[in-house]
Amino acid sequence: MKSSSIFFALLALFVTLVVSNPVTAQEPLPAHELDQVSVTATRIERKTAEVPASVAVVGNKAIQETPMSNIKEVIRGIPGVLIDTRNQGYDSRIIIRGAGLKARYGVRDIMVLLDGVPITDPDGLTRLDFIDTQLIDQVEVVKGPNSTLWGANAAGGVINMTTKSPFEREGGVAKVGVGDYDTRNYHLSYSDDIAETVYYTLSGSRRESDNSWRRWNEFETNQASLQGAMMLDDGSTVESYVGVTSADIQLPGKLNESQFATYQATGKALETDGPWQYSGRYSDIFFVNAKYTKELGPWEFKPVLYLNKWAHEHPITGRINDADTNTFGADLQLNRNHRLAGMKGILTFGATGRWDDQETDYYRYADFATTPGGRITEVLSDQKGELIETQDRRVDLYGFYVQESLRPTDRWIVDMGLRYDDIQMDITGTRTEEYSYSLGRYVPAEDPVDVRKNFSGFSPRIGLTYLILEWLNLYTNFSQGIQTPTEGEISENPDLNPVTVQNYELGLKARARSWMFDSAVYYSPVEDEVVQVIGSGGDSQYVNSGETLKQGFEFSGAWSAPWQTLKGLEFGAGYSYTNYTFEDFSEPVRAGAAVVNMDRSGNTLPFIPRHQYSLYGRYRHASGLKFKLETFSWGSYYVDNANTEKYEGYDFVTNAMVGYEKGPFQVTLNVDNLFDKYYAVEVEKDTQGVKRYTPAAPRSFIVRLAYHF
């Protein structure tokens, strides 16, 4: 069925529901406490029920219930969001409605913001190493293309992590966490003001764990930051953030079938598959941003400047990357309150520029064992050997956007937007050697081909929200986004095209006195999706598929006890159904010395389960005692593009929390994987039929103490 037909069918259903459900006058019910305010989906403050998109907001209370070692702990369970980590540290793989599936590391196809400031590179890669999760006060997830406001490479969605402004902080907090596997978390922050004019927050954090249930699995990170805020005489504000991070993480390899069987029997994975046993990422990061807000009559000016400097060493398959990256960005947003033909409106428009320079040196591994024929059988350390390649990368992004938000009546909200982006990539380098997957050793190589690419495109969006009843909103939207290949992908395959994502969506949002729910059905055709092809030995290459089709349904709901005797009791559930297929895709498969294109059209995308469930229950007693139990189920999925085999997934992986608060003190015990289930968070099968497993962490616990002063 054509995408335009689907859209008009959804629109017809939308109009039918509006006409058949006239609004009757009644007393408005108070919003459920879980109805948070969204600032990401439309760049203006608006209750989530009024946003014509699928939005999830995790607030401060829910965040305090977790150790916040990783963003996974707060967004896991959101329908349509798949997240896990190889290391149980800050390393995360995030997938929203299938976007990000191709990522080998980091986050792809999803725009990530810190306090509304992009931390995603212009080419769409995000690293979470420098985020001090102890400072996060709220996390907002917007699903689907939002390129109208946030630019290219937000086609999968947007995640905005918000810290509490120094304007809102007072005093300090000290936190200590101690857990098994030598896990230690420390945090100290203090906020004050100078003459009630300049407000500041100083903070420092350290996290570490040896995660000894698995080989080569340690991580540690040290972070310090200064947040400043100032109120000027004319009412305008200036806010800034300066942070430094030193982060080291070991990235363990995958398991073969025999090793996974051993893990399932013992709960330990002390061996990994393949010669590349010492992958990791060792980073030093400096991040600074400044935001200014000024109101002048109906106008609001919101310019943002930011700088991100990275120096990181990254041992991977076949080589060790040593990179220095500088990313500079600027965004000027203007809002104007006005009336158009008698309708209240907010006009939002602006311009964005992001510039990324990266210089990378690639080295051999210094220490490795070989067969008599020279094939590398095992790397013995993560030390650098001889320099074999240099590369200079430059990515520039320029964008212009406009959005009109109108309220024709008290019941209707109409959002219309358009954005244009232009992305330029320039990659040059020299090379003397490279690792040959077929021969299993380093071989002489010619200089790589210089790559100069220019991608551009328009991203339109229209959304309608209608208040059916005082507690029930109906919405529909159409949006389109573009996604460029990353620098690394375009270096490996200069013929890659940008991805175009369309999304047609219809949803209901309810906010009653003691319960709420969000539901959405979507239809999303994707042209030229970049697909990962996993070859022999785990070697990956990236190719465009002609078209993929993503269809799904999502539901999340919560109920809190309305009776005084059970005040503080709450239950919630989430469910996601997906049907993602390759409509037109030929996968290159090596057969001996030849490469054969195998038709995968009609196949289901790998790794994405058809069904995903989550349940939780929490209780907060007036005495300060609190409990929470949450459980997750991940349905079966195909392990390869060829759909030759399925993995069963997992059922009812459960986490528990018990805590107590009294005055300035708080103590909490968190237990993850309460029933100690041994399962795989991912199973993949390469084009030669070899399966590899990423094991889940066994049961673990951490005890946390916090003191507010």
pLDDT tens-place string over residues 605-654: 999 999 999 999 999 999 999 999 999 999 999 999 999 999 999 999 99
Distance CA 73, CA 67 (A): 8
Residues 6+ positions from 492 with CB-CB distance below 8 Å? 541, 542
Phi and psi at residue 492, to the nearest 5°:
-80, -35
| pLDDT, tens digit (0-9, with 9 covering 90-100), for 477-516 | 999 999 999 888 888 899 999 999 999 999 999 999 999 9
Q: Which residue has the higher pLDDT, 70 or 230?
A: 230
Q: Judge whether residue 347 has pLDDT over 90.
A: yes
Q: Which band of pLDDT confidence, cut at 50, 70 and 90, is reported for residue 19? A: very low
What's the rounded Cα separation, in Å, for the pair 691 and 539?
Answer: 13
Tell me what pLDDT residue 566 has. 92
Query: Is the pLDDT at 18 greater than 70, yes or no?
Result: no
Q: What does the block give as tokens for 52? A: 């014509």
Q: What would the mean pLDDT of 206-232 be, rounded to a whole number?
A: 95
pLDDT at 488: 83
> How would residue 14 be classed by pLDDT, with cut points 50, 70 and 90?
very low
The confidence band for 169, taking pLDDT boundaries of 50, 70 and 90, is: confident
Contacts of 114 (CB under 8 A, 6+ apart): 131, 160, 161, 163, 241, 289
What mean pLDDT do residues 142-147 have?
A: 83
DSSP percent split of the chain into helix, strand, coil, nearest 5 = 10, 60, 30
Query: In the predicted model, is pLDDT for residue 335 greater than 90?
Result: yes
Which of the pair, 703 or 594, is modelled with greater confidence?
703
Confidence label for 21 from pLDDT (cuts 50, 70 and 90): very low
Structure-token pair, residue 85: 């980590």
| Predicted local confidence at residue 449, as pLDDT | 84
Q: Which residues of 587-616 are buried (b: 16+ CB within 10 A; e: fewer)?
A: bebbeeeeeeeeebeebbbbbbbbebbbbb
SS (H, E, C) 625-645: EEEEEEEEEECCEECCCCCCC
| Of the candidate ranges 125-139, 382-396, 651-665, the one whose mean pLDDT is the lowest | 125-139
Q: What is the pLDDT of residue 170?
A: 86
The contacts of residue 645 (CB under 8 Å, 6+ apart) are: 638, 639, 685, 691
C-alpha to C-alpha distance for 660 and 67, rounded to whole angstroms: 15
pLDDT of the residue at 87: 67
Structure tokens at 555: 């539901």
Report the amino acid identity of residue 390.
T
Query: Could you tell me the pLDDT band of residue 418, with boundaries at 50, 70 and 90?
Result: very high
Residue 529: predicted pLDDT: 93
Distance (Å, rounded) from C-alpha 141 to C-alpha 614?
A: 17
Taking the model in full, what pTM does it have?
0.92
Write out the two tokens for 161. 């992590």
Tokens of 269: 């994975």
Sequence-distant (≥ 6) Cβ neighbours of residue 22 within 8 angstroms: none
Rounded to an integer, what distance in angstroms lies between the CA atom of residue 532 and that of residue 108?
12
Degrees to nearest 5, angle at CA 87 with 85 and 91? 55
Question: What are 38-67's pLDDT values in tens digits?
Answer: 777 778 888 999 999 999 999 999 999 999
Element (H, E) at 412: strand 412-431
pLDDT tens figures, 291-317: 999 999 999 999 999 999 999 999 999
In angstroms, the CA 406 to CA 559 distance is 32
Spell out where 51-151 has E strands: 54-58, 81-84, 93-96, 107-108, 111-114, 117-118, 125-126, 136-143
Cβ count within 10 A of residue 654: 17
189 CB burial (10 A radius; 0-12, 13-18, 19+): buried
Please write the tens of the pLDDT for every residue from 71-101. 889 999 999 999 887 766 677 889 999 999 9
Contacts of 607 (CB under 8 A, 6+ apart): 95, 101, 637, 638, 639, 682, 684
Is 623 in a helix, a strand, or coil? coil
pLDDT band with cut points at 50, 70 and 90 for residue 8: very low
Q: What is the dihedral of CA 611, 521, 49, 566, to 10 degrees?
A: -30
Higher per-residue pLDDT: 35 or 52: 52
Average pLDDT over residues 334-344: 94
Residue 540 corresponds to which tokens in the numbers above? 């990956």
Average pLDDT, the chain: 91
Which residue stretches of 21-160 are H helix?
Answer: 60-64, 72-75, 147-150
Question: What token pair was written down for 505?
Answer: 């969506």
Q: Which residues pair with 632 in a beta bridge?
A: 614, 653
DSSP calls for 367-397:
-EEE-TT--EEEE--S-EEEEEEEEEEEEEE
Single-letter amino acid, residue 412: W
Q: Is 86 helix (H, G, I), strand (E, B) or coil?
A: coil
Q: What percent of the chain has pLDDT over 90?
A: 79
